[in-house]
Amino acid sequence: MDTNTRKKLIDQYKEGYRVVAAALAGATKEELDARPASGKWSAREIVHHLADSEMTSAIRLRLLIATDRPQIVGYDQDEFARRLHYDRPIDASLEAFKSARSTTAELLDRMSETDWAREGTHTEVGPYPISRWLEIYAVHAHKHADQIRVARGFARKK
């Protein structure tokens, strides 16, 4: 990954919380709990997923930087949603998402070229360089912000 692409992805990563917060601004309980289709997550569930995913991704990056060839363990996001009470209030999860992303952004700004060359092995996809981590998580919040807007729009159409 060239440095220009990396910078763009880091900037996008840093915008993730703001984009999600904007998508949630003024959301009613009905909008938070509406499902746009059977089997799709509500905005509330997406916020909890973002918190869990962001905390997991923060640890993954730290392992990739500080551990030689770490094993990055996959997880079942749907099982998390079922077992981790995704019907609870969103404030703490939104704050966890914000904090994990903020502290990780600080690391991204300080990484050396040697750091960027590090990689581990993901249990589901194999080789897992830090550049791949960034490609995944730079867009992750933006995609979910779009899903939040869709779910809220569905609730308003009812």
Say how far apart CA 88 and CA 31 lie, in whole Å.
15
Share of the chain above pLDDT 90, in %: 94
pLDDT tens readout for residues 6-35: 999 999 999 999 999 999 999 999 999 999
Residue 158 pLDDT > 80: no
Residue 155 pLDDT > 90: no
- Domains located in the chain, CATH noted: 3-157 (1.20.120.450)
**Residue found by looking up tokens 């981790």 in the block:** 84
Compute the average pLDDT of residues 106-112.
98
- pTM > 0.85: yes or no: yes
Split at pLDDT 50, 70, 90, the class of 157 is confident
Nearest by Cα to 70 from 144, 131, 19, 129: 129
pLDDT at 109: 97
Higher pLDDT: 69 or 158? It is 69
Say how far apart CA 35 and CA 57 lie, in whole Å.
26
